[in-house]
Structure 1
Amino acid sequence: MVKQRIYVSVVGFSDVERHALNTVFRLSEERELSYVPWIPLSAPGAHPPTMHAHVALVDGDSAEAVLAHAKELPKGQRLIWVGAGAPAHAWRVVGRPIQWAGILNDLDAVYAARQVDSGFLDLDVTSPAPLETPPDAPHLRALLVGPQPQEEAVFRARLALVGVLDIDVAQNTELALGLIGRQHYGCGVFNLDDHHIDVWSLARLFAQRNPQALTMGLSEHAGPLSPWWSRRRLRRDTERTGINSLVARPLNADELQRSLDLLR
């Protein structure tokens, strides 16, 4: 089957959100339908792959959003608006924190809408309405304890790709304890190198309360450059704690994805 591409014009967003979005774009290259950032012109005399992007993804809190709010969209372009104050012609409106799985669904729906416009599909996907999750779909929630900002962005994007939509983040012991006590989780990620958090006790409690969950530990001592005796001790401690997946820091994309694929 010929690979299809959806060109996306991105307006605004923080560095962390841009990083997560670029991860979504990069991972989509493995699919038959991929998403590509749209750049109008790359060099004098060059022609863009399309005269305009198929979809405009706009951060409603950015300064550039004022222009996107006022101007008329090119024919056939869909506007996905993130945040408050969406214009009437917005095709999808989503809130923060951004659920990247929802963005993926919206981008897929853009392709379906273009098929409708071309007469290839007889579906009503052109009206600005939120996409709903089927009531019987499994609902997974994840807890990230002590992640670095870049790691949090990576996990949000990667978890969205395996269907985990709700993600809680705790940067201190008290908040993590409260979340573990109130919520049930399908995945927990613990930064074992953060010595400001009682991460080992939290991981043990998490595993006890969520015995079927993927309980993941992150550590620099799990990598190949760490001494063998350090790696061995770390694995012994994680097994005793209830951690059933150990991933080295800095994160390796393939290793991380193999672990998260267990959630599918």
Structure 2
Amino acid sequence: MAQRIFVKVMGFSDVERHALNSVFRLSEQRQTIYSPWMPDAPEAPRLALIDGQSYEAQLELESPRTAGLDIIWVGPVAPASAFRAFDRPISWIEVLGAMDELYAPKDPLDFDLGFEDGASEFIEPEARDHRRVLIASASRDERLYLRAKLALADLTQADDAETGAQALELARANAYTVALVDFGLPDVNGWAFLKELTSSYPAIQHVIMTKSDASIGEHIRARLSGVDGFFNKPVHPGRLQELLQKVL
């Protein structure tokens, strides 16, 4: 059952508010929904998202209306009561991860875009032998690059697809631990393809996507769509390797 979390927002620039509104809007598509709190909202807020550099920040901290709320702080000199604090420039993906840590249903396999530690330590050797990966990209060079990175993560069982249609056919015929797919496959719409891929059976445990020049809104939408990693191309090898190690 879906739950709605009302968020009291204080401060932030117009550009930052625009990105935050994308988080609110796109969260309507999933189980944990975030909405900006207004005085006429049907429920009290549960979270205060505070711009520490705004003039009202200190007033809100001292207000009894903020007592009992979870607090996420942006800016220097975070109060001890803050659940998380972030510096500028704001990574809204990380802010969303902190919000989900508080309110989203806990999934032991959710490694939250690579920010958590320790997932790979608990995988039994027998389970490792059965890991299989789907690589989908129109670029042969990109597929070879991803294969090389998989080999460094001790993954040798991988299938290639050049198109979205081939990828979906493989996903329906095989059980994959991870899918590494390019958002820009030539024969499919990226978001429609992602929805089909994540609803395929057998279910793919983890999906990692790549895209040229992805916007912050696309990164947020991917996170809310269940994508474990969404990388701008060319993919940073260290970040991809770290993510693979955590999920595998």
TM class, shorter-length: 0.3 to 0.5
TM-score, with length taken from structure 1: 0.44
Bigger RCO of structures 1 and 2 (CA < 8 A, at least 6 apart): 2
TM-score, with length taken from structure 2: 0.47
